[in-house]
Amino acid sequence: MSYTIEKRLMSGLPNYALTAVKYVIAHESGNGNNTGPNALENEIAYMNRNKAEAFTSHWVGGGGRIVQIAPVGRLQYGCGPKGNPFSYAQVELARTNDKEQFKKDYAAYIWLLRELAKEAGIPVVLDGAGKGIKSHRWITDNLKGTTHRDPYSYLESMGITEEQFKLDIKNGIEIKEEVKITEAKVMLNDTKTIPAVIIDGRTHVQVRELAELLGLKLVYNNDSKTAKLYEVK
């Protein structure tokens, strides 16, 4: 599955080259007071107002939306003076209290972190040795210059353990679209009907039900794995 990245680059950003490309940083907002339906837009607006102090390249939220607000491959102010010069991209995850929305946000978050790492030519591995995708916590513990420890606590509060996060970064997430099934009836004439279901716009009936309705005999051939309908004489 792929996602559309909404590009809404902020104006007036500093334009400094990186020292080297080593990391893609995984953040979350840390804002427990901003979890409603407008959380993503609120966070982007806040960052735009305070970009002189802190800004990252991407935000994820709002049910799986991805918004890019700053260029990748240029210096961003997101994980402190020790990590920023080596970070190709930095991704923030807006909070929500809605578990179903979180699933969509998390899937988009994983996809984006993996795609940015591939784009940067670094390993798609979370918090390993050397180059790769790093949590803000990893930067704090290994490079210093910052004290934040996201995104693990928030992810765990939504049922994602550290081990699961690392596995999902490594393997990606395959999202299966929900199949809509609607009960229905098939009418042969004004009086005879048989039960059916509609799946993705197609009507399905049981062959045996159809045979009985039409007064036909159903014969199944084990060798050919086929079923035939015969007129009863």
Strand-strand pairing, 193-199 and 181-187: antiparallel
Query: The pTM is what?
Result: 0.78
**What are the domain boundaries of the chain?**
5-171, 181-231
pLDDT at position 184: 75
The larger pLDDT score, comparing residue 164 to residue 217, is at: 164
Percent of the chain with pLDDT over 90: 73
Fold of 5-171: Lysozyme-like (3.40.80)
Q: How many C-beta neighbours within 10 Å does residue 15 have?
A: 7
Strands (E) in the chain, as ranges, are 5-7, 23-26, 58-61, 65-68, 87-93, 132-135, 181-187, 193-199, 202-205, 216-221, 226-231
**Model pLDDT for residues 89-118, shown as the tens digit of each residue:** 999 999 999 999 999 999 999 999 999 999
pLDDT at position 174: 78
